[in-house]
Each structure stands twice: as C-alpha cells, then as structure tokens.
Amino acid sequence: MGENEKAPKKKLTKEEAIALAKARKAAKAAEAAKKEAEEPKVDLDSLPLVKAIKKEHAEAIEDIKFANNELTITVKKDYLLPLCRWLKSDPETAFDYLSEVIGVHYPKNEEKPLQVVYHLFSTQKNHRLRLKVNLAEDEEVESVYPVWRSANWYEREAYDMVGIKFANHPDLRRILLPEDWEGHPLRKEYPLQGPEGYREKWLRRHCRNTNAL
Amino acid sequence: MGLISKIFGKDLLIGLNRTGRYGVSKPITMQYPKEKWTPYPAFRGTIRHLTKETEEGETRVRCNACGLCARACPAECIHIVGEGKGKDRVPKTFVIDFSRCLYCGLCVEACPQDALEMTSFYESAVYTREEMVFDLDKMLEDYSKWERTFKK
Amino acid sequence: MDEIRGLVVTEEGLVEQDLMRDTLTKEMWVNMGPQHPSTHGVLRVVLALEGERIVDTEIYIGYLHRGFEKFAESKTYPQFLPITDRLDYISAHAMNYGYVLAVEKLMGIEVPLRAKYIRTLMAELTRISSHLLWLATHALDIGAMTVFLYCFREREMILDLFEMVCGARLTTSYFRIGGVANDLPDGFIEKCREFCNIFPQKAKDYDDLILKNRIWLARTINVANISGEEGLNLGLSGPSIRGSGVKWDIRVSEPYGVYDKVEWEMAVEDGCDVYARYLVRLKEMRESCKICQQCLDFLEKDDSGEFRAKVPKVIKPPEGEAYACVEAPKGELGFYIVSDGSTKPYRLKIRAPSFANLMSLPKMVEGALVADVIAAIGSIDVVLGEVDR
Ligand code: SF4
Ligand code: SF4
C-alpha cells in the first residue's frame, strides 16, 4: 500500500507540490468560512439563562461559550457556591439536578492545569448548563455538597481520579480505587498500565502468595 | 382486596392456575450437548481466513498483509508480518490471540480485501491459553470439524 | 433500655432486680456483600444495626473498576465502541447509543432516518430485556422463583432477535458512528413483529403471579420510601425517580432518535416505594413494545436502505467538547467527551445512571429492616459493571 501512494507523489515538481498544498489550504479555509457563515452566530446575551445570570451574578462570570447547542460558563472559583445556591433556588433557573462533576487535567495550561466541570439540569425548566472552574495545582474548590447531595460521590470520584481537592466536603476519600492507592490515574502524566514497578510493589504489599510476581 | 377473596386466597389461586397450566405444557428449553443451537448467519464467532483463486489457477489467501485489521482491533490481538511486494504480498505470519479477542467484528469490517470472515463456530473452549492463539494455517482450516458432537 | 424487673436466683436466694442490668446494647455492624446474591455483582454494603433497625449505611464500590475512562484515552473513537457494551452489559445497545450520540454531536453528523428508527427499535428492545432481567432477579431476591423462569423465556426471544441482527446476544456493538453496522436482515421484521404481538399476553403471566400477590405486596408497599425532591437531590434518575412522581424522562424532555415521532406515554407513579418502581417498569415495558410496533411500521414501508451516514474514514472530531445523554433502562446515561482534534478522545467521562442511583440507597433504607435492603437494592436496579466502570 505504502509503495503505491509514494509513486505518483515523486513525479510532482516542487512548485507543483507547493501550489497543490496552497490550493488545498485555500479550499479548506473557504469551507471553514462557509461553515461559519452558515451557522449564525448566537448572540450570547440574548439567551435567557445568560441574561439571568448576568443580572444577578455578573461578577462570577469569567467566560461564556456556546457550542454544540450547549451553554458553558466559566466561573471564578470563589463565587461558585453562592452561584450554585442561587441557580438552584431561583425559580427562573431552577437547576434541581446535578448530573455530574468531572475533573479534567490540562497539563498544557501551566498556571491552572485542573478543571472541574459541573453539568446541571432542571427537571422543571428542562434546560442544561455547564459550569467550569479552573484551578491551580494546590488550590481547593468549595464543595457543592450543601446544594446538591449527589455531589458527594461525584466529587469523591473527581478527587480519586484526577486529584481535585474539594473544601468542606463531608467525606473526601477515594471511591473507586483502594484507599491506599498512590497517584491519580486520570492525570495525563499517569501511564496507562500504571507507573513502572507499581504492580509488583502493590502485590508485595497486599498478596500473601508472592508467587504471582 | 375484598375479605372473601382474601380468605379464599384469590391472589394465590390465580398464580397457581398459571403455573399449573405451564406445568403440563411442553418444555421450551434445549438440552445442549444433545441438541444444538444453530446460530443465525450473522453470528460473530471465531474468525476465519478466506482464500481466492488467482488467474493462474492456484488458491491463495486473500489477505495481502496491509495491517488495517490490526489497526482497527480494540484489543490489539492481531499480529501480522507480511512478505513480498505489491500484488504478491502475502502474510508470513498472521496470528490472532482469541483469548483477548472481543468478537466485535471491527477487523472484518475494516478489511479492504474481504479476507476475514466470522464463522458460526462457538464451541471454542480449550484447556490452555496457547491453544487459543490461532495462526494462519489454523485459521484456514474448516472449523466445523472441531465441533463437539455427542451421542444422542 | 427500660428497666425490666424480675426474680433472679443469686447466692442469697431469689432476689428481685433489674434484668437488663448487665446487658449492653450497642450498634452492630453487618457486612452485606461483596459476595451477596442480592447485590447482583460485587457491591459491599455495611449496615449499622440497632436491634433489627438500620441506623447507618455505608456503601463501598470499586471492586469491578476496569479504568474505562483511562482506557478510552488510548483508543480511537470507533475502537472504544465495543468497550461501551461492557458498561451495563445487559443493555448494551443503550450504552452504544449514548456514546455514538456524543461523538456525532461533536462532529455534527446527521444520521439517516432509517438508522434512527433502527436505533430506536433496538434501544427499546434492550429496555424490555433489561427490565425483564430486573423483574426476574428482583422477584427472585424477594422470594418469587417462578417469575424468573417466565421472564427469561421472553428475554431469550429478544436475545435471539439481537443475534439475528448483529450476531451477538449480549455484547452487541451494533451501532456505529453515523448509523448502524448493517441493515436489518431478511425476516427480521416479521420475527420482531411476532414478538411484539405476543409480548403483552406473556407479560400477563408476571402480573398473574405477583401483581396482587399478598406476599409481594407486603414486601414492597411502603418499603424504601424516597420522595421525588429528595431523590433528585441525591441524583436518582430513570424509572426509579418516576416511581416517586417526578415527570422526567429524557426521551420526552430532550428527544433523540425518533422519540418525538412515535406515540407513547411516560410511566409515572407516585407511590415513592418499591411497588411504585415496579409498576413504572412494568408499564415501561408495555410502552416500549408500542414504540417497537411503530418503528416496525416505518421500517416495513421504508426501502431507502440508508443505514449509515457518510462519515470520514478516519474519525477525527474537531476540537471541542460535547455532552450527550440518553434514557438508558437505568436512568440518565451521559457521555462527556473532550476532543483535542486528534483521533483519540482527550477526556471521556461516563455518567453512569447506576452510580448516581446507588447514592440514594442509604436514604431509602434509613430505619428499615435488613430484609428491606434487598428489596431496595433490587428496586433501583443497579448493575455493577456500570457503577465501577
Ligand atoms: S473481532 Fe474485534 S477484538 Fe477480535 S480480532 Fe477482530 S477486531 Fe480484534
Ligand atoms: S485488513 Fe484484510 S487484507 Fe489487510 S491484513 Fe487484515 S486481513 Fe489482511
């Protein structure tokens, strides 16, 4: 297969190749521009949710995005809990259901590599909202357990998998992994099959029958 | 529930009636080693290699060791080494480790030569793990001869 | 403890004194699981008992953790699809559905109508089979053995249908990004129609056995109560929350597939107990059967043969993130995918319904008897493959 592809390519002169590449690039750009033109830019301020939040908690908002039909609001860390309280109690937003809490690790953002994502849903108003909080390595975010009880396990999982610490969580322990596990597997630097030699170490510590090694 | 129906146990009697009726009907279960289930044609069982006739009249495997199936496999259980160039390219070794295989069929879907086929062979239990590793020769055999047969 | 006076033989002869003087009462801790037949997997529940009443519950999970989310980061998008079957292994189609919806949303793929109908049909058949397995094992836990046999008889028919379509009975991997793997085979529609016609009659068998049975009623009514508000607060979703009178079904609130084109009714009960959840699932099975009939009507007439949209050979979603959720037989199943523009997901989070539903177990069994824990676990229908991922 490889040989077949290479053969015609070699015949092109350098100029031709450059021209071809340029043409391809232009076509791609045109396509992207067309796509953008087709998709009408959503006026963020016209969305009722954004309006309501901007009115009450404008100081909490860091960034607003609307993509794939989903509204994403990045929130400043210290304003998260009051904002969530308000989102749940206000009859206009009425977010009575917390779908999940996710920890994501972005090692490329050196200042704030950790991100916590909250998916909210309102069974009465039938709308969804995604909240995001960016954290530095040693920062803690306030737990939303007082607002939604379901945050209990979700936050434990985020702690377990990514190592995000939640302040004032009633019982922040590992949930899926054993309590004496080392490291947080869903961090990007954690290798797929565990760190070198960890398996042997683990077995030595926990198995009486070390023949398995 | 009315008192009378409670005393006579109407709720229980309805249930007993139902079980009683099934008690005398024919069983619907299959007595496995004696009777055997024939899978539907789409069944995803053990994978087999197909052959083709070349213009010169010899039979050879369809596979040309392009490696697309190995790349599609989520379990990373296909190992291919090819030899030859262009049209004459054939696999030197082609090993599927069926102890890791998910029987998902993604490799069959990915193959541009239609060289792989999922058979309806499902009695693939063996005694050792090594026997689960199939090479090219084994995958060209007729699987039906390995089917377990039992005397009635 | 109250004083109970009585006569006791001592060295000084018969003396009247407090019988409970030397008796110490304190909490007793009872381990239920990890290997308990009623937990359907490896779930460990530690109960603190005072007498026979439960005062505290602690749940330990993670025995079946296989690291799917980490695994997804090392697999390409199509390769991860067969892995989703292993989440909730008794409703594989629904798990596939959530995943492909999320990827399609990320890539902006429009699925052909025929594929949508096939998907909906499969998802509903899965719902019936999952609820049948639930009813069978739930009744078995509570003590009704015969229902188990009848439920498995019908479930077997559905599995046969699955085998006919995609070649596997349990880990089906039938959905593909942009459609389904292959078109329906010949004779499938007739066979499926036959099943949908006889299913309501067969479902009467289960009703005859337990719907009004006095033991069943005594074991389920007013057991494991949870109000709708509390349930939502604790993350309960799916049929379990509809048993508490909350009108929320993702098929209605955010319709995907063709749920907005077919006619059916949402099953809601407001008993808040195990019996209400049982009624909801029973009704849901019948409604699913109706949806299947309508899908079959369409598929019979339709001869477009388009079962898969045109998708690029190498699936490479643009940078971004998407969350798609479906109403799996257990509740809200969501997939949150972050893409960095490569062929592998940057981060994939599975929002498993059973994981969230399990959180309300301590609330349900507060002050109940030990035997009620079994009914409660059964009524929220946990599958441990999904809880631990
Ligand atoms: S069936 Fe699936 S797991 Fe098995 S070899 Fe083919 S691609 Fe790999
Ligand atoms: S994809 Fe087909 S032709 Fe290519 S190596 Fe695999 S079996 Fe052979």
Indicate the domain borders of chain A.
Answer: 44-175, 177-213
Residues 6+ apart with CB under 8 A from B13: none
pLDDT at A12: 61
Query: Which CATH class for the A44-175 domain?
Result: alpha beta
Distance from CA of C10 to the nearest CA of A (A): 50
Calpha distance A161→A103 (Å, rounded): 8
CA angle C49, C55, C60 (to 5 degrees): 85
| pTM, two decimal places | 0.84
Q: Is the shortest distance between the CB of B103 and ligand 1 below 6 Å?
A: yes
Contact A3 B66 (CB under 8 A): no
Q: How many residues does chain A have?
A: 213
Task: Tell me the angle at which helices C370-380 and C274-301 cross, rounded to the nearest 10 degrees.
Answer: 20
C337 - beta bridge partners? C322, C348
Residues 6+ apart with CB under 8 A from A5: none
Given the structure tokens 């439960």, which residue do they identify? Answer: C54
pLDDT at A6: 44
Contact C309, C110 (CB under 8 A): yes
The DSSP output letter for C305 is -
- For atom 4 of ligand 1, the residue with the nearest CA is B101
Ligand 1 atom having least distance to the Cα of B76: 8
Distance from CA of B64 to the nearest CA of A (A): 9
Contact B66 A1 (CB under 8 A): yes
Contact B113, B64 (CB under 8 A): yes
Q: Which of C97, C140, C90 is nearest to C115 (CA)?
A: C97
**Mean pLDDT over residues B26-53, rounded?**
83
For residues C86, C91, C96, C102, the Cα torsion angle rounded to the nearest 10 degrees is -110
Contact A149 C234 (CB under 8 A): yes
Helix (H) or strand (E) holding B90: strand B90-97
**Which amino acid appears at position C97 of this protein?**
Y
Question: Cβ–Cβ contacts within 10 Å for residue B2, how many?
Answer: 8
CA angle B27, B33, B35 (to 5 degrees): 50
What are the domain boundaries of chain B? 50-116+128-141
CA angle C83, A130, A175 (to 5 degrees): 50
**Mean pLDDT over residues B11-31, rounded?**
82
Calpha distance B1→B13 (Å, rounded): 14
Determine how β-strand B90-97 pairs with β-strand C331-339: unpaired
pLDDT at C145: 83
Question: Cβ–Cβ contacts within 10 Å for residue C110, how many?
Answer: 10
Cβ of C75 under 8 Å from any chain B Cβ? Answer: yes
Residue numbers in A near C104 (CB within 8 A): none
CA angle C324, C329, C331 (to 5 degrees): 55
Residues 6+ apart with CB under 8 A from A188: A105, A107
Instruction: Count Cβ neighbours within 10 Å for each residue of B79-98 and write b for 16 or more, e otherwise.
Output: ebebeeeeeebbbeebbbbb
C-alpha dist (Å) from residue C167 to B103, B121, C79, C184: 10, 12, 18, 12
Determine how β-strand B59-61 pairs with β-strand B51-53: antiparallel
pLDDT tens string for chain C (389 positions)?
Answer: 567 777 777 777 777 777 766 666 677 888 887 777 666 778 888 888 887 888 888 888 888 888 888 888 888 888 898 888 888 888 889 889 999 999 888 888 888 888 888 999 999 999 999 999 998 888 888 888 888 888 888 888 899 899 888 888 888 888 888 888 888 888 888 888 888 898 888 888 888 778 877 888 888 888 888 888 888 888 888 888 888 888 888 888 888 888 888 888 888 888 888 889 889 998 898 889 889 888 888 888 877 878 888 888 888 888 888 898 898 898 889 899 998 888 888 988 998 898 888 888 888 888 888 888 888 888 888 888 888 88
Residues 6+ apart with CB under 8 A from B139: B47, B48, B49, B94, B96
Q: Which of C254, C81, C218, C242 is nearest to C142 (CA)?
A: C218
Calpha distance C332→C326 (Å, rounded): 6
Residue numbers in C near A186 (CB within 8 A): 69-70, 347
Choose the weakest-confidence range: B114-123, B135-144, C253-262, C365-374: B135-144
List all residues whose CB is within 6 A of at least one atom of ligand 2.
B 63-69, 80, 110-111, 113, 115-116
Q: How many residues does chain C have?
A: 389
Helix (H) or strand (E) holding C9: strand C5-10
pLDDT tens string for chain A (213 positions)?
Answer: 444 444 444 556 667 767 777 777 776 666 666 655 555 566 677 777 777 777 777 777 778 888 878 888 888 888 888 888 888 888 888 888 888 899 888 888 888 888 899 998 888 888 888 888 888 888 888 888 888 888 889 988 888 888 888 888 888 888 888 888 888 888 888 888 878 888 888 888 887 766 655
Nearest to C167 among B1, B19, B44 (CB): B44
Q: Is A124 exposed, middle or buried (0-12, 13-18, 19+ CB in 10 A)?
A: middle
Q: Which of A103, A96, A61 is nearest to A79 (CA)?
A: A61
Structure tokens at B103: 């029987």
Contact A190 C65 (CB under 8 A): no
The DSSP output letter for C109 is P
Contact C348, C337 (CB under 8 A): yes
Structure tokens at C164: 């006919």
Q: Is the shortest distance between the CB of B106 and ligand 1 below 6 Å?
A: yes
Contact C166 B42 (CB under 8 A): yes
Contact C323, A130 (CB under 8 A): yes
**Which amino acid appears at position C87 of this protein?**
L
Residue numbers in C near A70 (CB within 8 A): 321-323
Domains of chain C: 68-387 (1.10.645.10)
CA closest to C85 among chain B residues: B104
pLDDT at A5: 44
pLDDT at B151: 55
pLDDT at A1: 42
Q: Reply yes or no: is the peptide bond before residue A191 cis, omega within 30 of 0.
A: no
C175 - beta bridge partners? C180
Fold of B50-116+128-141: Alpha-Beta Plaits (3.30.70)
- Chain-centre distance for alpha carbon B7: 55
Q: Which of A160, A145, A183 is nearest to C60 (CA)?
A: A160
Calpha distance C201→C191 (Å, rounded): 16
Structure tokens at C224: 């494991």
pLDDT at A211: 63
Q: Long-range contact list for A157-163, CB < 8 A, 24+ apart?
A: A157/A101, A158/A101, A158/A102, A158/A103, A158/A116, A159/A103, A160/A184, A161/A103, A161/A185, A161/A186, A161/C69, A162/A103, A162/A104, A162/A105, A162/A114, A162/A186, A162/A187, A163/A103, A163/A114, A163/A187
Structure tokens at B95: 């090993």
Q: Is the shortest distance between the CB of B70 and ligand 1 below 6 Å?
A: no
ipTM computed for the complex: 0.83
Interface of A with C in 48-107 (CB under 8 A): 67-70, 72, 96-100, 102, 104-105
Binning pLDDT at 50, 70 and 90, where does residue B105 land?
confident
pLDDT at C87: 86
Contact B40 C164 (CB under 8 A): yes
